[in-house]
Structure 1
Amino acid sequence: MPHVEPGMSVGLFGGSFNPPHQGHELVAEIALRRLGLDQLWWMVTPGNPLKNHDDLASLDERVALSRRMAPGPRVKVTAFEAAYKLHYTAQTLAFVKARNPGINFVWIMGADNLRHFHKWQNWRGIARTFPIAVIDRPGSTLAYLSSKMAKTFSHARIDEDDAAILPFLRAPAWTFIHGPRSSLSSSAIRNERATNKTAAS
């Protein structure tokens, strides 16, 4: 787990990053800038329980690729969830909170995940552990209005113009941040690679 000092504001950006791409880099850059973060932990997970793992690259490979992609020294690429055998986001956030008193954490997610967030294990618990910043992604701009999470926690949403105070708020608190969007996705990249491999064989 990366080193932090009391009083820091830290974004938690988790995913399988299979593979990492410029869309992930853009989310990290927007979060750092709009939330005024001291650090962003780019957390490479062992695997997503809601996804098929047949085409999952090794953890070491995904960490190495993520380190090449990470935009600047404030982004700390880590895979501590594997070391501590943490399989669900709710577990991870509870673990991070217990180990790091005095740190202002924010959970960072792309808007494409917001649509299915209510299917995550203990999703309400996640929303009540740390504030959440949802970063816009292509095709998901309206998810902040229509998703079950958005409706359930509508009372806890703050305006994106106030995003810089989000790390200092008590959960539940969340905002939706609009900005530049990348059309890249990990699944599309994997599909293209598989198609090219088939065509070459």
Structure 2
Amino acid sequence: MKVGLFFGSFNPVHSGHLIIAGYMANFTLLDQVWFVVSPHNPLKTKSGLANMYDRLEMVRLATEESTNIRVSDIEFRLPQPSYTIDTLTHLREKYPEHEFHLIMGSDNLASLKKWKNAELILRDYKLMVYPRPGYSAAEFAEHPSVTFTQTPLMELSATFIRNAIHEGKSVRFFVPDKVLEFIESKSLYR
């Protein structure tokens, strides 16, 4: 099975993430998409990061009715901070029957050279890239491991959602109803 791995903090998961995952699971060669919730991205600060179990639960709530989108907490059991290459190696050993593809935005592709063992990622895995406003990854246009998709362009960000909640604004329609209920019940991002 071809599985797309969509790594992220998902702080919180929002409609943009779900549209990207839905596109990848239904309009590309992928059979499934797994949201891989990262406890802590080594290239990001921890401040403002909701508890990893709360973020995992929000992704579960957002995807529970999907048949081809799943949630993974694999990085919760690996050394932190989590490095993508280490998670990929672990998943490949644990699920040798799957062919793993990395789902990433063109913003992440543009900074891929900063990642641990980026050359191994490009050598050993396929990358499914969705567009992000203001980011060009032209240097990878001809790379055999990189596929640029026609995923709808998303300008929605988790930072926007967190700031809106903090300011007391409604984020209804920006996040699934069950996720919004969870955020409100835990008073997250206030």
TM-score by length of 1: 0.76
Instruction: Provide the rounded CA distance (Å) in 2 between the counterparts of 1:139 and 1:33.
Output: 26
Partner of 2:13 in structure 1? 20
State the identity as a percent.
36
Partner of 1:39 in structure 2? 32
Instruction: Provide the rounded CA distance (Å) in 1 between the counterparts of 2:128 and 2:8.
Output: 15
1:184 aligns with 2:156: yes
Contact 1:94 1:129 in 2 (8 A): no
Partner of 2:90 in structure 1? 95
Unaligned residue ranges in structure 2 (runs of 5+): 170-189
Partner of 1:84 in structure 2? 78
The residue type paired with residue 73 of structure 1 is T
Which one of the candidate residues 110, 115, 119 is aligned to 1:120? 115
The residue type paired with residue 185 of structure 1 is S
Instruction: Provide the rounded CA distance (Å) in 1 between the counterparts of 2:68 and 2:111.
Output: 29
- Structure 2 vs 1, CA of residues 155 and 137 (structure 1 numbering), >3 Å: closer, same or farther? closer
Instruction: Provide the rounded CA distance (Å) in 2 between the counterparts of 1:16 and 1:181.
Output: 20
The residue type paired with residue 193 of structure 1 is I
Instruction: Provide the rounded CA distance (Å) in 2 between the counterparts of 1:21 and 1:124.
Output: 31
State the superposition RMSD in angstroms: 2.1
Unaligned residue ranges in structure 1 (runs of 5+): 1-7, 157-172
Partner of 1:107 in structure 2? 102
In the TM superposition, what is the alpha-carbon distance from 1:53 to its structure 2 partner?
Answer: 0.6
In the TM superposition, what is the alpha-carbon distance from 1:34 to its structure 2 partner?
Answer: 2.6
Provide, for residues 126-160 of structure 1, a one-character-per-residue CA deviation record: whole Å limited to 9, x for no partner. 112211100112333xx2215xxx27xx342xxxx
In the TM superposition, what is the alpha-carbon distance from 1:186 to its structure 2 partner?
Answer: 1.1
- Structure 2 vs 1, CA of residues 84 and 193 (structure 1 numbering), >3 Å: closer, same or farther? same
The residue type paired with residue 78 of structure 2 is Y
Contact 1:16 1:48 in 2 (8 A): yes
Contact 1:22 1:182 in 2 (8 A): no
Partner of 1:138 in structure 2? 133
Instruction: Provide the rounded CA distance (Å) in 2 between the counterparts of 1:155 and 1:10.
Output: 20
Q: How many residue pairs were aligned?
A: 168
